[in-house]
Amino acid sequence: MNSILIEKIYLILILVFFILAFAVKNIKTYLSEKQSIRGRSFKLSMSILLSILIYLILLLRLTLLNSKWLLEIDLSAYPIRNILGLLFVSIGFVLGLLALNAIKNSWRVGIKYDQKTDLVNTGIYRLSRNPYFLSYDILILGYLFIFPSIILFALYLALVITFHFMILEEEDYLQSVHGENYVAYKKKVNRYFTLK
């Protein structure tokens, strides 16, 4: 097997397992809580739509489409971008798994105003208040390094902005629910990443 095929298989598997980890976490939390764990908002719907489009485009690019269909910029003169892309994809994947594992049954898709969850500030949440969003951003950025597509970049930028506004709304909600505990947590841990 040549290295290009191995890389494609790796990238497909990472993307599929990232999607599956999200789906399994939703199902496990739903079964544990015995009620819907999905909030309702325009931002959440937009993030789901943008995510699905990005997933589909990446899967098609990895299997059927060539670069011209996605308006990719030829950066083949910079092979380091591929190495960086693989590194970011791997880091994003691991961060995502750590975030899903650490949040336990406090996992929600969007904000469920009628459900109170525990404030999670252990594990990967000691380094980031939003490690799952961060993992997603890093993962997709890695794919962008590998497939520098104008279409993917536009979708990614829209998703990052949508995520940011979702995070701001979630922070207000968590502060209203957890009060001073959340304020203290915010002072110790940055929104995206904290170096200790």
What average pLDDT score do residues 163-192 get?
94
pLDDT at 196: 58
Say yes or no to pLDDT of 69 above 90. Answer: no
What average pLDDT score do residues 99-115 get?
88
pLDDT at 116: 85
Most confident of 30-39, 67-76, 110-119, 165-174: 165-174
Burial of 188 (0-12, 13-18, 19+ CB in 10 A): exposed
Cα–Cα distance, 44 to 75 (Å, whole number): 33
Say yes or no to pLDDT of 131 above 90. Answer: yes
Query: Which residues is 149 bridged to in the sheet?
Result: 72
Say yes or no to pLDDT of 1 above 70. Answer: no
Which pLDDT tens digit goes with each residue over 163-175? Answer: 999 999 999 999 9
pLDDT at 110: 86
pLDDT at 130: 95
Contact between 92 and 60 under an 8 Å Cβ cutoff? The reply is no
Label residue 183 by pLDDT band (50, 70, 90).
Answer: very high
Say yes or no to pLDDT of 65 above 80. Answer: no
Is the pTM higher than 0.85? yes
What average pLDDT score do residues 72-94 get?
92
- Domain 3-188 matching CATH 1.20.120.1630: the answer reads yes
Nearest to 55 by CA among 12, 110, 23: 12
Cα–Cα distance, 15 to 47 (Å, whole number): 17
pLDDT at 152: 95
What average pLDDT score do residues 30-44 get?
87
Domain limits of the chain? 3-188
